[in-house]
């Protein structure tokens, strides 16, 4: 859940509405339920090879080709970390500090990420746990928007074609990315068999959260207004009024740092872990190298169009990896097992 909930939840409503309009919440629900099938495949892959994705690639393709394929995933997760980092810094610059240096703030986050990763995998998991528990109070802020919501906006239901629903489902992929982290963490789970129900429960809770927020957003915004809103989630917080604080969205943005931390930490940890498995380089060295690359590259993205383009590429890559490559790898592992058994 900590890997799934991050930057995507702040603006996914706008992207999914481009396909099926205000019927898109149905696509959110169906896409979330389909993740259970992919998650089942992931566990089957890991159980069969008794290891992570590098073990699966070696099992199917051999040592050299398997490691070559695994190296491509390093690029993907490094780009994922850059996307989350730059998107969050952009939010800070737009909503709070317009003249803030992209480099300095990115450097501060990267140093914190390095410190957490150097604490070991348990430390990363601890941060992931607190990133779900502590910011959970933010859910109650959405109750303020109910006063201004009109659920008739969602009617009529099922008023779009299957193609439009599919477009919305595909646009939702960036927000749902992260459940595949099991492919890399499996060797660290003490009792993998017992973890299955919790993994599926985590995906289910994320699905319900995204679906509920999509319904509330569609009831709050008109379609025309939603098209012009970059971060609908933050905009909904602006209607909240409390006697002791005027701008609740500032508190939400500050709290969001805790939410995106495990996104970046796990992405860089996965990349460094894969480097260690492929070329046997010390993980601390690879963490530093990847962190420096992420910092330098993130600064090169300056405009909203460039950041949006980066988000789009990562979303497409995540969609193909989750819905195409993982099923193909699953079938390949089963075939290899059958052949090797004979």
**Could you give the CA distance from residue 294 to residue 74 in angstroms, rounded to a whole number?**
12
* Residue 244 counted as domain residue: yes
Whether pTM exceeds 0.95: no
Question: Tokens for 276?
Answer: 């260690």
The per-residue pLDDT for 59 is 94
Contacts of 42 (CB under 8 A, 6+ apart): 179, 180, 182, 183, 326, 330
**Could you give the CA distance from residue 46 to residue 185 in angstroms, rounded to a whole number?**
10
Listed residue (325, 333, 30, 293) closest to 170, CA to CA: 30
* Mean pLDDT across 276-289: 93
Range of the domain at 320: 8-341
Q: What is the pLDDT of residues 37-65, one digit of tens each?
A: 999 999 999 999 999 999 999 999 999 99
Q: What is the pLDDT of residues 23-35, one digit of tens each?
A: 889 999 999 999 9
Query: Model confidence at 249, in pLDDT bands (50, 70, 90)?
Result: confident
* Inter-residue contact 129 to 122 (CB < 8 Å): no
**Could you give the CA distance from residue 86 to residue 326 in angstroms, rounded to a whole number?**
28
Within 10 Å of residue 309's Cβ, how many Cβ atoms? 12
* Mean pLDDT across 169-186: 87
Question: Tokens for 138?
Answer: 């933010």
The per-residue pLDDT for 19 is 84
Residue 1 exposure: Cα atoms within 13 Å on the Cβ side: 22
User: What's the domain count of the chain?
Assistant: 1
* Mean pLDDT across 224-247: 82
Residue 6 has pLDDT above 90, yes or no: no
* Residue 3 counted as domain residue: no
Query: Model confidence at 170, in pLDDT bands (50, 70, 90)?
Result: confident
C-alpha distances out from residue 107 to 250, 294, 301, Å: 21, 10, 15
* Mean pLDDT across 248-276: 92
CATH number at residue 205: 1.20.1740.10
- For CA atoms 211, 214, 220, 224, the dihedral sign is negative
Question: Tokens for 87?
Answer: 């998107």
* Residue 1 counted as domain residue: no
**Could you give the CA distance from residue 39 to residue 320 in angstroms, rounded to a whole number?**
15
Question: Tokens for 331?
Answer: 């079938």
Query: Model confidence at 139, in pLDDT bands (50, 70, 90)?
Result: confident
* Inter-residue contact 179 to 38 (CB < 8 Å): yes
**Could you give the CA distance from residue 88 to residue 261 in angstroms, rounded to a whole number?**
10
* Mean pLDDT across 294-323: 89
* Residue 2 counted as domain residue: no
* Residue 314 counted as domain residue: yes
Whole-number percent of the chain with pLDDT over 70: 99
The per-residue pLDDT for 157 is 86
Decide: helix, strand or coil at residue 242.
Answer: strand
Listed residue (291, 336, 252, 295) closest to 61, CA to CA: 336
The per-residue pLDDT for 64 is 92
Residue 253 has pLDDT above 90, yes or no: no
The per-residue pLDDT for 144 is 87
* Mean pLDDT across 190-198: 92
């Amino acid at each position: 859940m900590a890997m799934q909930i991050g930057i995507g939840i702040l603006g996914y409503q706008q992207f999914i509405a481009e396909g099926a309009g205000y019927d898109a919440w149905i696509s959110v629900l169906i896409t979330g339920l389909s993740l259970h099938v992919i998650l089942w495949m992931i566990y089957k892959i890991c159980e069969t090879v008794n290891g992570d994705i590098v073990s699966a690639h070696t099992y199917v393709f051999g040592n050299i080709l398997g490691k070559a394929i695994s190296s491509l995933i390093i690029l993907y997760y490094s780009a994922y970390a850059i996307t989350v980092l730059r998107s969050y810094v952009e939010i800070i610059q737009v909503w709070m500090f317009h003249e803030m240096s992209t480099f300095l703030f990115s450097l501060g986050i990267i140093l914190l990420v390095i410190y957490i990763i150097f604490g070991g995998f348990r430390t990363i998991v601890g941060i992931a746990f607190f990133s779900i528990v502590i910011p959970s109070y933010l859910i109650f802020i959405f109750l303020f928007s109910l006063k201004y919501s009109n659920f008739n906006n969602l009617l009529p239901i099922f008023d779009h074609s299957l193609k439009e629903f599919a477009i919305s489902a595909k646009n939702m992929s960036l927000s749902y990315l992260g459940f595949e982290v099991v492919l890399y963490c499996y060797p660290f789970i003490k009792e993998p068999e017992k973890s299955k129900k919790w993994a599926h429960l985590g995906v289910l809770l994320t699905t319900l959260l995204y679906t509920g927020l999509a319904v509330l957003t569609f009831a709050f915004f008109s379609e025309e207004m939603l098209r012009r809103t970059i971060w609908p989630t933050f905009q909904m917080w602006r209607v909240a009024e409390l006697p002791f604080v005027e701008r609740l969205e500032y508190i939400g943005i500050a709290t969001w740092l805790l939410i995106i931390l495990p996104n970046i930490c796990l992405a860089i940890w996965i990349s460094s872990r894969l480097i260690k498995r492929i070329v046997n380089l010390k993980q601390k060295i690879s963490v530093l190298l990847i962190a420096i690359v992420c910092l330098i590259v993130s600064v090169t993205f300056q405009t909203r169009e460039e950041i949006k383009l980066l988000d789009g590429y990562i979303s497409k890559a995540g969609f193909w990896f989750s819905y195409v490559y993982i099923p193909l790898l699953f079938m390949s592992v089963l075939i290899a097992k059958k052949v090797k058994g004979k």
